[in-house]
Amino acid sequence: MNLASITLLAAVAIGGPFNAERPAVSVAEIPHCLVSIDEQIDAPALESGPLAELGAQDGQYVQAGALLAQIDDNQSRLDKQAAELERDAAITRANDDIEVRFAVASLEVADAEVEQALEVNRKRSGVVTETELRRLKLARHRADLQIDRSRLDQKVAQMTAQVQQAVVKSAEASIERRQILAPFQGQVLVVHRRKGEWVNAGDPVLTLARLDRLRVEGFLNANEFSPAEIAGRKVTIQVQLERGRVETFSGVVAYVNPVVQAGNKYRVRALVENRVEKQHYLLRPGVEASMSIDLR
């Protein structure tokens, strides 16, 4: 083999198919994607009792924080009112220092009586008997202890007020637990209960779904794209609506499943922002869509 042939073979080997660079790809296409709900809950009753109010209906759109249902809370409100009265009474007792001032004044009188008796005996021994003197000193000691007792009663009243304030907060929490609020903006899919029905804690009262942001999932070939190329990328979703109408929606890849499934494919999930037209969302769960992932 001459030198020219060897050079030609080397050039072919270097530029052969096994060493060729992959062509640049700017978009990854996924047909036959499924649109589904990303957030859906069965809103439960947190406390047992009859449903006093049911403000939600099937198909109703609600804002985050909206009151969906109200369990009867009359007893909880009465408990709160009673605890507030007990708290206020305890605060009044804690702020009342009449007993302390009276005890201080009593000690001053008892001190004066003891000093007077001692002075009399200094001038003329035995005028005030030892028994009487001991009685006067005991009265002075009692008055001194009464000051401590009155101050202790004030402290106990302060602590009682704190305890009753905790009871008030507990009653307020009980009232709040009897309110079923929407955790996010969405649409009521199904109302499972009716006004006046008894519900137990944990029973689902209604089903709420978030529709302003939906999930779109499809499969990519693991031989063509790596998860690192796909994760976090912007996507465009194309959906065919009624009578051949086509609409596009924007989103982002939120999750790439690391597990490669049958057919050497892995799941890609995007979250897509929905739009409202004539008080209804255009993109609906259950429809088929195509996904274009921007790799630039």
pLDDT (tens digit per residue) in 177-207? 999 999 999 999 999 999 999 999 999 999 9
CB atoms within 10 A of CB 53: 15
The model's confidence at residue 11, banded by pLDDT at 50, 70 and 90, is very low
The model's confidence at residue 55, banded by pLDDT at 50, 70 and 90, is confident
Return d(Cα 61, Cα 146) in angstroms, integer. Answer: 66
* Rounded alpha-carbon distances, angstroms, from residue 203 to 67, 206, 242: 17, 9, 38
Q: What is the pTM of this model?
A: 0.70
Kindly state the helix (H) or strand (E) to which residue 216 belongs, with its residue range: strand 213-221
pLDDT (tens digit per residue) in 234-244? 999 999 998 98
Return d(Cα 293, Cα 227) in angstroms, integer. Answer: 12
Return d(Cα 282, Cα 237) in angstroms, integer. Answer: 12
- β-sheet bridge partners, residue 100: none
- Residue 218's closest CA among 261, 248, 249, 250? 261
Residue 58's Cβ-count burial label (10 Å; 0-12, 13-18, 19+) is exposed
